[in-house]
Structure 1
């Protein structure tokens, strides 16, 4: 599929075998809930896009996100050192996304943000099929991290779902892939391959609900000698189809709807995550937190990304249980108005 939006101005929907070449949102026939056709200004204002790259190991955990919210460009990056509990984190908010650029080609483009002497860049390469994170901060922090979707073979989740009465959300997800590269920071210098780091990745764009909320869970690593990745969500991308899945040695296994049970006022207390089909039964114990709050009236966000350890089981149909024992990963609780 070269383009997500068809000739009639409507998107392709479903779970796809490969990524669209272009998220051609300008060709979308965007209408109000009452059916009035909306113009280019409304189409620009309501289109949002974000990309996230995370890395996980028992020596270092990191995350970097870039978001284009039309009225603002947002970026954050953090590094957490589990053995010491120390953390580096930076946040950037740029009006009208000035100082940023965003490609609408999920597998062949780049997104970046520049603010002073700080630079965040996410590169998606078609040949070879790789994703790369580059970060340079004015405090001397440097990140150069990369993963491949080819060697060893890996099948990402590609999905597009209807959203509310007049929107759609395209997303592609990766978790459970080996990560290579280097990190230099006040937390120490790390060779990501040498510390056994794994990566996960999210590329999402579309016409999301103007006021929305979601929970998300992700883990990446080794369990009983198998490469395991997990991507679960509740609150978005679940109209007609869901993005819920996990990976065993790169093979994508679909999961039904999921329930996140936790105390929103005490997010560092244990979380319990289970799927309706019984394939997932996990407990999450928090070890640290990255959070942001923003309330600009027309734009607002209450974001908590919590890193910690999962325990429990995955039960693939037709295969033996996979025991998850202290595997590092993330959960997320996000409210946003945009």
Structure 2
């Protein structure tokens, strides 16, 4: 088992294709002058979040659990091709609240959240090769499903990187996870969709992130008409100097991408985005259709700007050991995120 923290506070950075021992508590967090940070300051510096996006026919669902130490958050939305953004849900509570249980174990966990009319349960086990979700947001949006998911069968991208020289971030990304079963309802009415093409994108991150964290982010997954499964998860402004957080998958075979570039106008984000790499492995045009956004201005302590766009991708992947895979109108996500936290 791969220990993330070794002897003498050494972080074992790398791309990790084996089970992890998440011994993060052994890490000695240091400030700019290498003085140890302890107690509540260390607790609040640790952040962990899990985002899952599900595409079922014309419907796209996104939801996340977020633990910033001092603040916990669960949000969700459902988007429809013909109606746009149908419903958004957002629940926040203080860090000491017992409403959320978000275990510190990226490989095997059961995350729960219960508050009022909102309940979330996400169970993941690489040991058993499964991901299960069962969610009820505001007693309006309800969905549950089961997906196969393991290190061996899906080749997720799992990288451990320095955030800055005195901090680390681990992330696990994979797409697509194909549903064994899935159901969804809105205001008590079951929604109809193509049951043989329900896919999920998975994204989990945790660690001691930068005090100021920014990223552009892209993720999508689907099964093409010829039954080829494709997926991708890309980011910029994250860890370009160490182990790349970028990869795409064709029939669950991973191709890592060293760096991805974003060419778009952040002031006019509903214009098309060009997402590509210099080696010619990836070239995408993203057309946004709608968005979920959030903004927090907590003075000098906390500031966030979050804009997650739903839309469609046209483009291609070109793995080093195979031919070009082209696709059009694949639904997915692009995101702008800026935070001081």
How high is the TM-score relative to the length of structure 1? 0.94
Task: Tell me the matched-pair count.
Answer: 337
Alignment check: 8 A CA contact 1:51 1:67 kept = yes
Aligned to 2:135: 135
Aligned to 1:149: 149
Which of the residues 304, 309, 314 maps onto 2:312? 309
Cα distance change on mapping 1:151 and 1:185 into 2, 3 Å: farther
Q: Distance in 1 between matches of 2:146 and 2:39?
A: 36
Alignment check: 8 A CA contact 1:19 1:106 kept = no
Residues 1-338 of structure 1: matches in 2 within 5 Å? 1-21=1-21, 23-98=22-97, 99-150=99-150, 153-179=153-179, 180-186=181-187, 188-190=189-191, 194=195, 196-223=197-224, 224-297=226-299, 298-338=301-341
Between 1:254-263 and 1:95-104, the stretch displaced more is 95-104
Between 1:285-294 and 1:104-113, the stretch displaced more is 104-113
Alignment check: 8 A CA contact 2:60 2:79 kept = yes
Cα distance change on mapping 1:171 and 1:217 into 2, 3 Å: same
Q: Distance in 2 between matches of 1:151 and 1:243?
A: 16
Between 1:108-117 and 1:171-180, the stretch displaced more is 108-117
Cα distance change on mapping 1:150 and 1:31 into 2, 3 Å: closer
Alignment check: 8 A CA contact 2:259 2:277 kept = yes
Between 1:151-160 and 1:316-325, the stretch displaced more is 151-160
5+ residue gaps, structure 2? none
SS of the equivalent of 1:26 reads helix
Between 1:70-79 and 1:85-94, the stretch displaced more is 85-94
Q: Distance in 2 between matches of 1:186 and 1:8?
A: 54
Task: Give the deviation of 1:193 after TM superposition.
Answer: 6.5
Between 1:137-146 and 1:249-258, the stretch displaced more is 137-146
SS of the equivalent of 2:165 reads coil
5+ residue gaps, structure 1? none
Alignment check: 8 A CA contact 2:112 2:120 kept = yes
Q: Distance in 2 between matches of 1:55 and 1:335?
A: 24
Cα distance change on mapping 1:271 and 1:102 into 2, 3 Å: same
Aligned residues: CA RMSD: 1.9
Q: Distance in 2 between matches of 1:172 and 1:187?
A: 34
Task: Give the deviation of 1:190 after TM superposition.
Answer: 3.7
Q: Distance in 1 between matches of 2:326 and 2:189?
A: 32
| Deviation by residue 1:261-296 (Cα, 9 ceiling, x = unmatched) | 111122222110011211011100011111111111
Cα distance change on mapping 1:320 and 1:97 into 2, 3 Å: farther
Task: Give the deviation of 1:314 after TM superposition.
Answer: 1.1
Between 1:54-63 and 1:73-82, the stretch displaced more is 54-63
Alignment check: 8 A CA contact 1:161 1:240 kept = yes
SS of the equivalent of 2:153 reads coil
Cα distance change on mapping 1:65 and 1:278 into 2, 3 Å: same
Task: Give the deviation of 1:40 after TM superposition.
Answer: 2.8
Alignment check: 8 A CA contact 2:2 2:18 kept = no
Alignment check: 8 A CA contact 2:293 2:307 kept = yes
How high is the TM-score relative to the length of structure 2? 0.93
Between 1:65-74 and 1:317-326, the stretch displaced more is 317-326
